[in-house]
């Protein structure tokens, strides 16, 4: 299956593949026409840059200019961290990949299938999450196939599932102050410890320099209600820890209150509840409060964006 996917990437086609975060919708990052197909298939705004996936730090250095902090944080690669860095003029990246910006969002994925695809294709792969723009991110090949029934997308059916279930943390290192553009499993505290300086957090009014910054994002088709203490009529519950949003079909992100487990389950469970709600004519998904700390920052970020 990898061999077929490689041929399609080299031919300028779209391939959906697993990473350790979520499934990505990939194309040859050097091919403008191929990368424009990503925007078209997703219905993605043209001012929303793509993340470029590479196989190594050395390959990343061919595309971006690294500073001291970037080299320090590269110790977290392969892994769920994306860095926004100045783009090298010699990079040959398709213009639409960076949305015309002078920076590039780049990471080295840890998933074996993703790395094999990049290495065997011989090119960096631009890949946002493999979902329709604004909808829930996919954590399995089934989610991707359901979302792209009408599009020409080759989907790699991986037996190895996504590990984290949330998109990568994004840190902007292209300016004087390191800034978190998107929360993820790599928390601000981890980054601050490694680079030995404080980071800022992007605001709603910050310029879009990387994926995940659109304020309306990550939403199921069924409306959600966050910080719910009890269920209202027509709702199905998504619990955390010992919350009591109990109804037929309800789920618990982590009965033990483990934020890492909750984050890994978030999109998968929302997909399941979204399907259940629509089949059973329920009006809303009620979600229990999630502590806004550590990985909970990433969970709440996704949920808040899904309510708009």
Whether residue 275 sits in one domain with residue 171: no
Whether residue 232 sits in one domain with residue 107: no
Which pTM was predicted? 0.92
Whether residue 248 sits in one domain with residue 112: no
pLDDT digits (tens, 9 = 90+) for 230-271: 999 999 999 999 999 999 999 999 999 999 999 999 999 999
Report the Cα 287 to chain-centroid distance in Å.
21
CATH number of the structural domain spanning residue 67: 3.90.870.10
Residue 173: inside a domain: yes
- Structural domain count of the chain: 2
125 forms bridges with which residues in the sheet? 28, 53
pLDDT digits (tens, 9 = 90+) for 110-129: 999 999 999 999 999 999 99
Are 210 and 105 in contact by the 8 Å Cβ rule? The answer is: yes
Q: What is the mean pLDDT of the chain?
A: 93
Whether residue 93 sits in one domain with residue 45: yes
pLDDT digits (tens, 9 = 90+) for 43-89: 998 889 999 999 999 999 999 999 999 999 999 999 999 999 999 99
Question: Which pLDDT belongs to residue 218?
Answer: 77
**Strand ranges inside the chain, DSSP E:** 14-17, 24-28, 51-53, 81-86, 103-107, 125-126, 153-155, 169-172, 179-182, 200-201, 224-225, 235-239, 251-252, 284-287
Residues 247, 248, 249, 252, Cα dihedral to 10°? 40
Residue 208: inside a domain: no
Whether residue 238 sits in one domain with residue 180: no
Residue 213: inside a domain: no
Question: Which pLDDT belongs to residue 307?
Answer: 85
Residue 207: inside a domain: no
Question: Which pLDDT belongs to residue 1?
Answer: 83
Domain with 255, as residue range(s), is 224-306
What average pLDDT does the segment 159-164 reach?
A: 72
| φ/ψ of residue 146, rounded to 5 | -70, -35
Whether residue 152 sits in one domain with residue 242: no
User: What does the block give as tokens for 4?
Assistant: 């077929």
Residue 296 CA to residue 304 CA, distance in Å, equals 12
Residue 5 CA to residue 198 CA, distance in Å, equals 41
Whether residue 302 sits in one domain with residue 264: yes
pLDDT score of 289 more than 90: yes
Are 46 and 99 in contact by the 8 Å Cβ rule? The answer is: yes
Instruction: Provide the pLDDT confidence category of residue 163 given band limits of 50, 70 and 90.
Output: confident
Residues in the chain: 308
Asked which of 201, 233, 267 is the last residue of a domain, the reply is 201
Q: Is 298 helix (H, G, I), strand (E, B) or coil?
A: helix
Whether residue 228 sits in one domain with residue 195: no
Whether residue 183 sits in one domain with residue 244: no
Whether residue 230 sits in one domain with residue 110: no
Whether residue 62 sits in one domain with residue 196: yes
Residue 153: inside a domain: yes
Whether residue 191 sits in one domain with residue 120: yes
Residue 149: inside a domain: yes
pLDDT score of 212 more than 70: no
Residue 218: inside a domain: no
């Amino acid at each position: 299956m990898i061999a077929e996917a490689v041929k399609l990437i080299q031919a300028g086609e779209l391939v959906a593949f697993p990473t350790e975060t979520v499934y990505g919708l990939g194309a040859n990052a050097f091919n403008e026409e191929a990368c424009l197909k990503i925007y078209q298939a997703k219905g993605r705004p043209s001012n929303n840059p793509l993340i470029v996936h590479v196989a190594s730090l050395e390959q990343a250095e061919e595309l971006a200019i690294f500073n001291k902090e970037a080299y320090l944080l590269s110790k977290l690669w392969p892994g769920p961290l994306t860095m926004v860095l100045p783009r090298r003029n010699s990079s040959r990246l398709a213009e639409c990949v960076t949305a015309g910006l002078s920076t590039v969002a780049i990471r080295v994925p840890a998933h074996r299938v993703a790395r094999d695809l990049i290495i065997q294709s011989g090119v960096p792969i631009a890949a946002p999450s493999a979902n329709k723009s604004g909808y829930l991110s996919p954590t399995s090949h089934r989610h991707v196939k359901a979302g792209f029934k009408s599009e020409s997308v080759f989907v790699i059916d991986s037996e190895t599932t996504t590990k984290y279930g949330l998109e990568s943390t994004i840190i902007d290192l292209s300016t004087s102050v390191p800034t978190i553009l998107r929360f993820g499993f790599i928390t601000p505290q981890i980054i601050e410890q490694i680079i030995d300086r404080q980071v800022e957090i992007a605001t709603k009014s910050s310029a879009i320099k990387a994926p995940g910054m659109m304020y309306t994002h990550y939403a199921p088709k069924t409306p959600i209600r966050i910080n719910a203490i009890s269920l209202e009529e027509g709702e199905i519950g998504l619990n955390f820890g010992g919350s009591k949003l109990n109804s037929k079909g309800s789920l618990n992100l982590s009965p033990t209150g483990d934020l890492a487990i909750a984050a890994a389950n978030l999109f998968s469970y929302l997909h399941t509840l979204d399907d259940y709600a629509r089949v059973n004519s329920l009006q809303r998904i009620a979600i229990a409060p999630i502590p806004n700390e550590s990985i909970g920052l990433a969970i709440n970020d996704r949920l808040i964006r899904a309510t708009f």
